[in-house]
Structure 1
Amino acid sequence: MMPLISVVIPVRNEAQSLPILLDDLTALRAAGAELIVVDGGSSDSTCERVLGRVDRLLRTAPGRALQMNAGALAAQGEYLWFVHADTRVSAESVKRLQEALRERPLWGRFDVRLSGTGLPLWVIGWMISLRSRLTGIASGDQGIFVERGRFEALGGYAQIPLMEDLQLCRRLKAQARPCCLRPPLTTSSRRWEQHGIWRTVFLMWRLRAAYYCGASPERLARQYRRGSML
């Protein structure tokens, strides 16, 4: 039988985080979901640590859009669920997704919280979720799910180095508002903690604003790399 859900997980050097996510998804796989990991050239033990725990392990050149499209192409499920390797998925979130898909939404996403402690990180997660509910646009950290036929009809993710998630959501939103789910997924706060909480927030706001004003994703990717190294 065709699985209802194919979970597509793009990875690169996620030997520590990925097995934890796969633990979270064990029950979903036992219920018939398909798990696909797409490695973008890991130099650690990522691939070795998933053997026997997923249905497909694919290898591509690095690039999140490229990896997710490769996973989607190999998927058999009615719905594609794109989940980042550093995400934690609760049993309640899995149950809510299964319930929501019975209503046959075109696409959707989850609210999100950050893994770290402290009020600033809680506020950032709350703001990301609120912004997404108001705008109908989601980031990749929010576990975007989409009906596979519609994803294919849209040509999948654009092959761009940054903002591929926003670009897909804009095209999907033109056809339907997203199905917004709780409870939230938990995404790693390492980016904010490593580079500074508010500096990372301002960098992402600036890049997002520039994208909406027409800046090229290639230029924004260079700015993101420079900003992350400061």
Structure 2
Amino acid sequence: MISIVVPTLNERARITGLLESLSALPGEKEIVVADGGSMDGTAEAAEASAFSGRVRVVRCGRGRALQLNAGARAARGGVLWFVHGDAQVAPSSLADIALALSEGCVGGFFRLHFYDADDRFMRFVERTSHTRARRFGLIFGDQALFLRRDVFDSLGGFAPLALMEDWELARRLRPLHRKGLIRALETPVGTSARRFIRNGRLRTLMKIHTIKALYILGVPTETLRTLYEGRRGEKGRDANP
């Protein structure tokens, strides 16, 4: 069984549609929503949805690493698939995961697609993100990582970081990536470009790369989260750095 872990924070406008599409995917699955203290009724909307029989909601503290780990602990499947709360998934997603695992892979990720900004700049971001992950194993959360449960557990899950928890886990997965055991799927997973739209495309991309560089230089992730979210404390729910 594939356990679909969905970390959420103030995603009420999108969560019902996502749960509907996940519930409709063919294949044995469960859905675990790990809510980090939403103030807009996201958790309640997930519990009250028509798909509540297939959805469990775990309430925990804020922080994507904390939420992902809480969801993984509650999951019962032998495979974990981490899907952001603003995602749009392809109908073949579970079948594609199962095929990759049947061919000896222990995990993988999807091809990033911005469903609300189809322009040349955003297509450039999509291509470079997929190339980076495919060639160097640097996988971010909006690329919908999936892993065998035993591999995830052996790595100790996500590190308790305020930001860049996906980069840090990807770094520990790189030996498996070099062996060809992490599959780069061509199946798209949609994510929102709302941060790019709201704050400017080039400005947002440069900010993301700056945060990456500062992380490599050892700047604390609490500081990086403040920089990423901005002075008004924007929720870190958009496409990750």
Aligned-partner Cα distance in 2 for 1:183–1:106: 17
Letter of the aligned partner of 1:87 in structure 2? A
**Does the 8 A contact of 1:40 with 1:67 survive in 2?**
yes
Range with bigger deviation, 47-56 or 32-41: 47-56
How many aligned residue pairs are there?
A: 226
Task: Give 1:78 deviation, angstroms.
Answer: 0.9
- Look up the match of 1:82: 82
Residues 137-162 of structure 1, C-alpha deviation per residue, up to 9 Å, x if partnerless? Answer: 11000001111111112111011110
Matched with 2:204 is 200
Residues 1:229 and 1:42: Cα distance change in structure 2 (over 3 Å): closer
Structure 1 segment 29-44 matched on structure 2, within 5 A: 31-44=27-40
Q: State the match for 1:189 in structure 2.
A: 193
Match of 2:157 in 1: 156
Deviates further, 106-115 or 44-53: 44-53
Query: In the superposition, relative to structure 1, how do residues 53 and 196 fare at CA in structure 2: closer, same or farther (>3 Å)?
Result: farther
Amino acid in the other structure paired with 1:144: L
Match of 1:25 in 2: 22
Task: Return the alpha-carbon distance in structure 1 between the equivalents of residues 214 and 14 of structure 2.
Answer: 31
State how far apart, in whole Å, the 1-side matches of 2:207 and 2:161 are: 19
In the alignment, what sits opposite 1:214?
218
**Alignment-derived partner of residue 63 in structure 1:** 63
Please give the alpha-carbon distance, in whole angstroms, between the structure 2 residues aligned to 1:157 and 1:228: 27
What's the secondary structure of 2:33's corresponding residue? strand
- Compare 69-78 and 54-63 and name the one that shifted more: 54-63
The runs of 5 or more residues in structure 2 that have no matched partner are: 235-241
Matched residue SS, 1:175:
helix
Please state if 1:109 is matched with 2:106: no
Q: Match for residue 121 of structure 1? A: 122
Q: TM-score, normalised by structure 1?
A: 0.92
What one-letter code is carried by the residue in structure 2 that aligns with 1:89?
A: V
CA distance in 2, matches of 1:227, 1:126: 30
User: In 2, Cα distance between the equivalents of 1:44 and 1:72?
Assistant: 24
| 8 Å contact from structure 2 (residues 111, 130) kept in 1 | yes
CA contact (8 A) 2:23 2:54 kept: no
Q: Verify the 8 A CA contact 2:6 2:83 in the aligned structure 1.
A: yes
Q: Higher mean Cα deviation, 201-210 or 87-96?
A: 87-96
Question: Is contact 1:79-1:147 (8 Å) kept?
Answer: yes
Which consecutive aligned stretches of 4+ in structure 1 deviate over 6 angstroms post-superposition?
227-230
> What is the CA–CA distance in structure 2 between the aligned matches of 1:41 and 1:229, rounded to whole Å?
15
Q: Over aligned residue pairs, what C-alpha RMSD do you find?
A: 1.8
Gap runs ≥5 in structure 1: none
Return 133-142 or 217-226, whichever deviates more: 217-226
Give the drift of 1:101: 2.2
Moved more, 51-60 or 78-87: 51-60
User: In the superposition, relative to structure 1, how do residues 134 and 174 fare at CA in structure 2: closer, same or farther (>3 Å)?
Assistant: same
Provide TM-score, normalisation by structure 2.
0.88
Identical pairs, percent: 37
Counterpart in 1 of 2:168?
Answer: 167
Give SS of 1:8's match. strand
